Amino acid sequence: MRQASVNSKTVVQFDSVSLRYGNGPEALQDISFSLSAGSFHFVTGPSGAGKSSLLRLLYLAQYPSAGVIRLFGTDTRTIRRQEVPMLRRRIGVVFQDFRLLDHLSAFDNVALPLRVAGLRESEIRPHVKELLEWVGLAEHLDSRPSTLSGGQQQRIAIARAVIGRPELLVADEPTGNVDDAIAMRLMYLFRELNRTGTTVVIATHNEALVARFDQPRLHIAQGRLAVAEAA
């Protein structure tokens, strides 16, 4: 089904990618790597190294100032504007600050990607309820995010990221604001998703966490890719 560029299982491919914000220095320089379908990668590096920037390129919040990015075999430079939303729907994102909409209930936040995709309400309802039950928020369907704890908000954010069964899941510091026990539970959750075939990319500066999960990593230092272990 996927159009192949390098190999039919390549989900992400970066070729000499650089990113510059405005007229500032390059936040990312000459980055090349590829991620195959079903892989699980950490993006590591100190604060300010460029992890979030790399992820922003991955979920199409940003386009590179130089180089080529292919997502699911599609060159993002030549993609037609109307096709971008379809590409984005294949990518689930857990934002560092969650970015939940506070005027919406937990249920409506999680349902958002499906509504945006134009699904009918009858298709949305059972699916969203089931997922919120799965992340332990069955009692909070109607709660506003701001009335919930940080951990609960995070689970809403994750549920929203996976509701559309994305092929690629991207999470920016998902364990940043939670204690170690919750962090571990989250990691197992991501690994569970990875086992069902989702390609997972997680940015973190938590070395202890990375050490406990034996997964390949993309290490960034000062905007450059230092280590790219084979998947």
Partner 1 sequence: MLRPLSSSLPLAYDESHRFLPLLVALMVFLAAMAVAGALIVHGLIGRWDRDVTGTLTVQVPPPAEAADTASSLRERLHAVERVLADTPGIASAQVLGRDQLVGLIEPWLGSGDLVSDLPLPGLIDVAVAPGGAIDITDLARRLAEAAPGTTVDDHQTWLQRLVDLGRAVEAAVLVALATVAAVTAATVIYATRTGMAVHRRAIELLRLIGAEDAYIARQFADRAFALALRGGLIGLLASVPALLLVDWAARRVGSGFIIDLSVPAHGWPLIVALPLLAALLARFTAQAAVHRATGRLP
CB count within 10 Å of CB 189 equals: 16
Q: Could you say whether residue 52 binds partner 1 (CB under 8 A)? A: no
By three-state DSSP, how is residue 140 classified?
Answer: helix
Site for Mg ion in 15-74 (CB under 5 A): 52
Question: Beta partners for 169?
Answer: 92, 200
Interacting span for partner 1 (CB under 8 A) from 4-12, 36-44, 88-96, 125-133: 88-96
Q: What is d(CA 43, CA 16) in angstroms, rounded to the nearest whole number? A: 17
Q: Could you say whether residue 103 binds partner 1 (CB under 8 A)? A: yes
Between 163 and 192, how does the x/- string for binding to partner 1 read (CB under 8 A)?
Answer: -x----------------------------
Integer CA distances (angstroms), 21 to 53, 62, 67, 102, in order: 10, 10, 15, 29
Q: Could you say whether residue 221 binds ligand ADP (CB under 6 A)? A: no
Smallest separation, CB 142 to Mg ion (Å): 32
Integer CA distances (angstroms), 4 to 32, 79, 95, 112, in order: 18, 15, 29, 31
Q: Which does 188 bind (CB under 5 to 8 A by kind): Mg ion, partner 1, ligand ADP, none?
A: none
Q: Which does 113 bind (CB under 5 to 8 A by kind): Mg ion, partner 1, ligand ADP, none?
A: partner 1
Q: Could you say whether residue 175 binds ligand ADP (CB under 6 A)? A: no
